[in-house]
């Protein structure tokens, strides 16, 4: 898997999550939970833009990390070969979403799926000219970006860190919707169940 | 290096399927799942290679020419730091549960996550831990909140200043652990980076749980 492939998978997962939140959100019981879902929905939309930006930047430079100029806009329409697919118009759900419990279950599944894709970025970025980043620069960039970075990370080191932050953020949401802690977010289907 | 437990297949639960036309499942969305490799021969970034050193070698080559020994050192240091952190967290949870048995049902599942982390880093390591107290109502509290208002403190014991302090202490430890895992990603093989990032993500979620309990 190339980094571009992994990034495309994140875009797909984010699109599915956005769709899923729009379906499940209204089925949640309380106003507080619907508000939380709305906020998560916005996070996914922002994250989609961010990842499209990363993807556009990557595909323009093939597998070469861009310098630290990172000035392209995040419009995701770069001329590179790996352009994310547009979202599907409609997705079918694995189980009917009829009430609070089924809605929350879907959201937890969607978060695990996005977490898995971010975990893949973390893994793949490690193999792509990793560690050319000064740790200090990576830290500063990630801190500035908090959990949702809207700027394209300039190199694999910061990309890896941004993906790990996105994984953390997905794990927090997953645990919230699941109502239970998950020992290995993003790896749930990779590990044997205890 | 000790990897996560053997990966039993990569099948993913199907979550969504595209209706019209082609079918899209989350399995496909996470098409990144199976042990793919980056294009180059030795740049394996996933898959469960362990201590054979080949991943370390390639990781270092990618990192710009340090020796394989340095990569091994880096990898061992990352695993060692993470494992030590897990042990410290487990001890802190055990301590909190010993002092506040009424928190046991809430804290035990989190403590057990850390034991799993430890085993993921160093297989079998949790067996040498002192067994933690067994909660009378099993691990009910947290799991029972499934499909309940998210992260509400319903079901949590009435909070007292002492509880709040204990929980805030654990929350701080989880926060620091998540940040430390983030700092340790660079320069290690992909499969280890993935594991470490996932552990950090779990700790970030724990932090949120603990916050909700106070």
Q: What is the pLDDT of residues B128-154, one digit of tens each?
A: 887 766 655 444 444 434 333 334 444
Chain-chain contact of A91 with B32 (C-beta, under 8 angstroms): no
Q: Which of A103, A179, A186, A192 to mutate to test the interface with B (most CBs of B within 10 A)?
A: A179
Calculate the alpha carbon distances from B63 to A124, A147, B55, B60 in Å: 14, 26, 12, 5
In this structure, the number of other CB atoms found within 10 A of the CB of residue A163 comes to: 30
Q: Do B187 and A130 touch (CB under 8 A)?
A: yes
CATH superfamily of this structure's domain A3-74+95-178 = Ferritin, core subunit, four-helix bundle (1.20.1260.10)
- Cβ contact (<8 Å) for B186 and A2? no
Contact A126 B45 (CB under 8 A): yes
Cα separation, B115 vs B102, in Å, equals 21
Identify the closest residue of chain A to B153 by CA–CA distance: A179
Q: Which residues pair with A185 in a beta bridge?
A: none
In a domain, B184, yes or no: yes
Residue B123 lies in a domain: yes
Question: B50 vs B20, which has greater pLDDT?
Answer: B50
Band (pLDDT 50/70/90 cuts) for residue A83 is low
Each residue of A35-68: pLDDT tens digit?
999 999 999 999 999 999 888 877 665 444 433 3
Assigned domain for B92 exists: yes
Weakest-pLDDT range from A116-120, A186-190, B57-61, B161-165:
B57-61
Domain of B185, in residue numbers: 69-213
Beta strands B17-18 and A91-92: pairing type?
antiparallel
Residues A167-191 have a mean pLDDT of 93
List of chain B residues whose C-beta atoms are within 8 Å of the C-beta of residue A182: 202, 205
DSSP-derived secondary structure for B31-45: TT-S----SSTT---
Candidates B33, B64, B149; nearest CB to A116: B33
Structural domain total, chain B: 1
What is residue A59's predicted lDDT score, i.e. its pLDDT?
A: 64
User: Which of B119, B193, B196 should we substitute to test contact with A (largest number of A Cβ atoms within 10 Å)?
Assistant: B193
Phi, psi of B18 (to 5 degrees): -70, 130
User: Is B205–A174 a contact, with Cβ atoms under 8 angstroms apart?
Assistant: yes
CA distance linking residue A57 with residue A38, whole number of Å: 29
Q: Domain for residue B191, yes or no?
A: yes
Cβ–Cβ of B182/A131 closer than 8 Å?
Answer: no
For residue B197, tell me if it sits in a domain.
Answer: yes
The ipTM estimated for the assembled molecules is 0.77
Structure tokens at A152: 């394209």
Q: Provide the pLDDT confidence category of residue B157 given band limits of 50, 70 and 90.
A: low
Using a CB-CB distance cutoff of 8 angstroms, which residues of chain A are in contact with residue B37? 1
Annotate chain A with DSSP letters as a single string: --HHHHHHHHHHHHHHHHHHHHHHGGG-SSHHHHHHHHHHHHHHHHHHHHHHHHHHHHHHTTTSPP-S---S-S----SSS--PPPPPS-EE-SS---SHHHHHHHHHHHHHHHHHHHHHHHHHHHHSSTT-S-HHHHHHHHHHHTTS--SPPSSHHHHHHHHHHHHHHHHHHHHHHHTS--SSTT-TTTS---
- Is B156 within 8 Å of B106 (Cβ atoms)? yes
Kindly state whether residue B73 falls inside one of the protein's structural domains.
yes
Are the beta carbons of A113 and B26 separated by less than 8 Å? Answer: yes
* A156: pLDDT strictly greater than 60: yes
- DSSP label at residue B18: E
- Work out the minimum CA distance from A185 to partner chain B, whole angstroms: 5
Residues facing A92 on adjacent strands? B17
Separation in Å, CA of A140 to nearest CA in chain B: 11
β-bridge mates for residue B18, sequence order: A91
Contacts of B19 in chain A (CB under 8 A): 88, 90-92
The reply to whether residue B205 touches residue A160, judged by beta carbons under 8 angstroms, is no
CA dist B55 to B110, B147, B199, Å?
Answer: 32, 42, 21
> Inter-chain contact B198–A167, Cβ cutoff 8 Å?
yes
Q: pTM of the full predicted structure?
A: 0.71
Q: B23 in a domain, yes or no?
A: no
Q: Are A21 and A44 in contact (CB under 8 A)?
A: yes
Task: Determine the Cα–Cα distance for residues B80 and B122; give it in Å rounded to an integer.
Answer: 9
Backbone angles phi, psi at B17, to 5 degrees: -125, 140
Query: Is B27 within a domain?
Result: no
A residues 42-101 closer than 8 Å to B (CB): 63, 88-94, 100-101
Return the number of other C-beta atoms located less than 10 Å from residue B134's C-beta.
Answer: 9
Instruction: Give me Rg for the CA atoms of chain B.
Output: 20
**Contact between chains at B8 and A63 (C-beta distance less than 8 A):** no
For an interface test with B, give the residue of A5, A81, A94, A184 to mutate (most B CBs within 10 A): A184
Quick check: B49 pLDDT over 80?
no
Tell me the pLDDT tens digit for each residue of A90-141: 787 888 999 999 999 999 999 999 999 999 999 998 866 433 333 333 333 3
CB atoms within 10 A of CB A49: 15
Range with the poorest average pLDDT among A51-60, B74-83, B94-103: A51-60
Task: Say how far residue A165 (Cα) sits from the centre of its chain.
Answer: 9
- Chain B residues near residue A123 by CB distance under 8 angstroms: 45-46, 190-191, 193-194
Could you tell me which chain A residue has the CA closest to the CA of B12?
Answer: A189
């Amino acid at each position: 898997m190339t980094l571009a492939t992994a990034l495309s998978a994140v875009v797909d997962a984010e699109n599915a999550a956005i769709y899923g939140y729009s379906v499940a959100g209204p089925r949640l019981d309380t106003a507080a939970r619907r508000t939380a879902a709305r906020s998560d929905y916005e996070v996914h939309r922002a994250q989609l833009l961010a990842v499209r930006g990363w993807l556009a930047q990557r595909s323009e430079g093939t597998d070469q990390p861009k310098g630290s100029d990172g000035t392209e806009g995040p419009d995701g329409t770069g001329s590179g070969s790996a352009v994310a697919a547009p979202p599907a118009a409609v997705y079918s759900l694995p189980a009917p979403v009829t009430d609070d419990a089924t809605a929350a279950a879907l959201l937890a599944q969607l978060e695990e799926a996005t977490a898995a894709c971010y975990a893949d970025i973390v893994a793949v970025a490690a193999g792509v000219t990793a560690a050319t980043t000064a740790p200090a620069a990576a830290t500063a960039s990630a801190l500035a970006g908090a959990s949702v970075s809207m700027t394209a990370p300039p190199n694999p080191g910061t990309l890896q860190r941004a993906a790990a932050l996105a994984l953390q953020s997905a794990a927090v949401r997953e645990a919230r919707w699941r109502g239970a802690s998950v020992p290995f977010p993003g790896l749930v289907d990779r590990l044997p169940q205890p | 290096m000790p990897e996560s437990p053997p990966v039993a297949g990569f099948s993913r639960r199907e979550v969504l399927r595209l209706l019209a036309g082609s079918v899209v499942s989350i399995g496909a969305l996470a098409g990144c799942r199976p042990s793919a490799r980056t294009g180059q021969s030795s740049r394996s970034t996933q898959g469960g290679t362990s201590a054979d050193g080949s991943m370390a070698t390639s990781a270092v080559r990618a990192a710009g020419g340090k020796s394989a020994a340095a990569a091994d050192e880096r990898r061992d240091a990352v695993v060692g730091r993470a494992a030590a952190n897990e042990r410290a967290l487990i001890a802190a949870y055990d301590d909190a549960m010993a002092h506040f048995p009424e928190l046991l049902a809430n804290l035990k599942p989190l403590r057990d996550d850390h034991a799993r982390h430890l085993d993921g880093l160093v297989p079998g390591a949790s067996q040498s831990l002192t067994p933690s107290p067994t909660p009378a109502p099993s691990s009910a509290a947290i799991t029972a909140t499934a499909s309940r208002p998210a992260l509400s403190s319903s079901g949590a014991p009435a909070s007292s200043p002492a509880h709040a302090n204990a929980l805030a202490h654990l929350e701080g430890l989880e926060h620091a652990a998540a940040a430390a895992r983030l700092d340790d990603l660079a320069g290690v093989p992909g499969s280890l980076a993935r594991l470490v990032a996932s552990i950090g993500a779990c700790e970030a979620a724990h932090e949120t749980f603990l916050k909700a309990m106070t």
